[in-house]
Amino acid sequence: MSDSGAGSSEGAVPHGRRRRLFFALWPDDEMRRRLQERIDRHLILSNGRAEPIGNLHVTLVFIGDVEAGRVTAVERAVAGIPGAAFELSLERVGYWGRPRILWLGPREVPPPLYALVGHLRAAVGACGFAAETRPYLPHMTLARKVSRPPRVDAIEPVRWSVSSYSLMESIPAAGRSAYLVLNSWPLSSESR
């Protein structure tokens, strides 16, 4: 297991339990190092609970609780979807007051990211899971239970060359979640 905080099951799925699943962009260790450097330099959090650097990710599609025996069907449904690699520039600092969440996201969303989310939503829907209907807003949750956000709405951009996406499991652990990479798929470097 790396410093990124996630392990990989390489598709091994124990039977007989439900799993809380979602698709995400999962940063590698170098990207996490750059994120940590920017966060430390630009965001001083005086309250709230910071997410561990190993938990940072961008959710693509949340699926929810899935019977263990259906995980393979979800993996098969997305195995052939098209998707192009893209660059994501994380620089916008946002705050949602009601859930008290501080987040980091892009000022502009690359079209291939919207396309990927659309394909994933369709695949998840075809598997019989409720598809998300809210507009997609890519973000990384930086902290929870934040009552007073920092007075900054942008940081020096962290540029991320996104070349894959992952199926993740959220596992409750000591009052927060830990994330496990179940499977990953590459994005094409050829423009479509």
**What is the token pair recorded at 122?**
């369709």
- Active-site positions read 57, 139
Q: Report how far residue 154's alpha carbon sits from residue 90's, in angstroms, rounded to the nearest whole number.
A: 9
What does the CA dihedral 111, 58, 170, 48 come to, rounded to 10 degrees? Answer: -150
Render the burial of 92-107: b for 16+ CB within 10 Å, e for the rest.
bbebeeeebbbbbbbe
CA angle centred on 168, ends 163 and 170, rounded to 5°: 145
- Smallest CA-to-CA distance from 165 within 182, 184, 179, 183 is with 184
Q: What is the DSSP letter of 69?
A: G
Helix (H, G, I), strand (E, B) or coil at 43: coil
Q: How many CA atoms lie within 13 A of 99 on its CB side?
A: 10
* Number of residues written out for the chain: 192
